[in-house]
Amino acid sequence: MAEMEYITATDFDRAWLNFELDLPLPAKKNGEPNPFYVNRPGNPISDLTDALMAPFYRPPKFYFSGHRGCGKSTELLHIMASSHIRTKYWPINFSIREEADIIDLDFLDILLAIGGRMYREYRQTGGDLPEHLLKELNGWQGKVEKEIRTVLAGQASGYELGASIDAFFVNAGMKMKLEPATRIELRQVIEKDITGLISVINSIAAAIYAREKRIPLILIDDLDKPDLEIARSIFHDRREIMMQPNCAIVYTVSSALFYSKEFDSIRDQAIFLPNINLHLPLEPEGFDEDGYLTLRNFIKSRMSLSLIEPQAVELAISYSGGVFREMARIMRTALGRARRRGAGQIEYSDVELAATEIRNEYRRILDKNDLTFLRKVHEHNRLEYNDRLRPLMQLLAVLEYRNGENWCDIHPVLRRLIYE
């Protein structure tokens, strides 16, 4: 597979690639931002970097929140490459999708992923294992495998016993991700000695600090993808355990989690990445110049503006709701329509039809009560605890913003639908 080239498109084929919905934007090797990275008004990511750089007695844990598609993954990659962060931390960034099944995610899967990724990164960068750490790891591995034999009671299993500690983390992670039956066995065994797993994680973190003189910082992406019940079981029911690893951790979580009174206890550790403001509260026809400029730069970095009518640019931005992923979605859909017409430029009508497609998707999944609720949100722009609000935020039907205070509005493509 060819490596992604981050170059501004001068034709529709390249533009199609550049507007891929989940396009990763890693920094350059010299630490400079990715060519497609755009600065946000007010630099809200500084809230997280400032919090990480503040003094502490124990390595901090933060919940990095924001709507799906608002740019959390990009900002984590940006933090990962920051020379400022690297003076204090030894950062590791990974997606939980690489380590576990997000449809059936458990707190143990996350802890095992933290331990496994730290261990592998440590070894891959030439870290030698101190004798006491090697002894502890082998002892914990032996204990886990002994329990697995007991659980199996002679039954066949896909789990490979007696592997090296390197292979153990790889095997355990793969089994957790791909094999539901073995996943249950491993969880049963590891949960019996959760303090043993925490001790192993902390010993690996200590070994890294001893060599690097920097604190391990674990940036875990895509933890906002599991449904709300799974998220509740991990970050509310098991909150104390998730705080125990002796390394700094940034957990990405859905913003919908924070509209529940159960999560009052973690709000002081939450960092919110807002969507880009395109208008002020209760002024849907207003115009936020900084917001529009940011999204023009988002388009311009990926595609020559000669490929789209100026009026179509403004319309696409207004329909995006200030969400980067929605901006890419609208541009890709409009681009596809222009290609099918055999045109050389995206026109205003292509963007309107793209918005209609998205509106029709919502039409299929929103019921009458949803539309009544969305009409109230649009008319009042108030955020409040509500069981109906959380799933609608997950669907991006309700979008959250910040102008000093947090407020919300509906996805712009829904404005016609709520009054039909």
At 387-405, the pLDDT tens digits run: 788 889 889 999 999 887 8
Listed as own residue / partner, the contacts of 368-372 with beta carbons closer than 8 Å and 24 or more positions apart are: 370/397, 371/417, 371/418
Inter-residue contact 191 to 222 (CB < 8 Å): no
CA dist 240 and 235 (Å) reads: 9
Residue 106 has phi, psi (to 5 degrees) of -130, 155
Q: Residue 278 domain-assigned? A: no
Tens of pLDDT, residues 67-114:
888 899 999 999 999 999 999 999 999 999 988 888 889 999 899 899
Q: What is the pLDDT of residue 156?
A: 38
Q: Provide the pLDDT for residue 171.
A: 61
Residue 281 belongs to a domain: no
Query: How does DSSP classify residue 193?
Result: T
Question: How many separate helices (H) and strands (E) can be counted in the chain?
Answer: 17, 7
Q: Are residues 260 and 391 in the same domain?
A: no
pLDDT score of 158: 45
What's 63's DSSP letter? E
Once rounded to an integer, what is the mean pLDDT over residues 159-177?
Answer: 57
Whole-model pTM?
0.88
Nearest one of 109, 85, 83, 103 to 94, comparing CA atoms: 109
At 298, which amino acid appears? F
Please tell me whether residues 66 and 145 are part of one structural domain.
yes
Is 325 domain-assigned? yes
Residue 2 lies in a domain: no
- Count other Cβ atoms within 10 Å, centred on residue 404: 6
- The answer to whether residues 229 and 328 belong to one domain is no
63 and 151 share a domain?
Answer: yes
Q: Render 313-376 in DSSP notation, one character per residue.
A: HHHHHHHHTT-HHHHHHHHHHHHHHHHHHT-SSB-HHHHHHHHHHHHHHHHHH--HHHHHHHHH
| Domain end point (choices 215, 241, 272) | 272
Flag whether 23 is in a domain.
no
pLDDT > 90? residue 277: yes
CA atoms within 13 A on the CB side of 214: 17
Decide if 93 is inside a domain.
yes
Q: Could you tell me if 174 and 309 lie in one domain?
A: no
Q: Does the CA dihedral 193-199-202-203 come out positive or negative?
A: negative
Q: Are residues 214 and 335 in the same domain?
A: no
Domain assignment present for 15 = no
Taking the C-alpha atoms of residue 146 and residue 138, their distance in angstroms, rounded to an integer, is 12
pLDDT at 159: 43
Among the candidates 272, 301, 319, a domain finishes at 272
In 3-state terms, what secondary structure has residue 265?
Answer: helix
Contact 36, 77 (CB under 8 A): no
Specify whether 226 is located in the same domain as 372: no
Domain match, 258 and 317 both: no
Any idea which residue has 């789990």 for tokens?
159
Residues 300 and 415 in one domain: yes
| CB environment 48-79: b (16+ within 10 A), e (fewer) | bbeebeeeeeebbbbbbbbbbbbbbbbbbbbb
Q: What was the pLDDT predicted at 27? A: 87
- SS3 state at 205: helix
Is residue 250 located within the same domain as residue 341? no
**Cβ atoms of residues 194 and 166 within 8 Å:** no
Number of domains the chain is built from: 2
User: Is the pLDDT reported for residue 58 higher than 80?
Assistant: yes
Predicted confidence (pLDDT) at residue 199 exceeds the cutoff of 70: yes
DSSP-derived letter for residue 103 is: G
Q: At residue 416, does pLDDT exceed 70?
A: yes
- C-beta atoms surrounding 42 within 10 Å: 14
Provide the pLDDT for residue 169. 66
Dist CA 215 CA 87 (whole Å): 10
The verdict on residue 145 lying in a domain is yes
Residue 202: which domain range?
Answer: 45-272
Q: Are residues 95 and 236 in the same domain?
A: yes
Instruction: Clarify whether residues 251 and 324 are in a common domain.
Output: no
Domain boundary among 210, 241, 272: 272
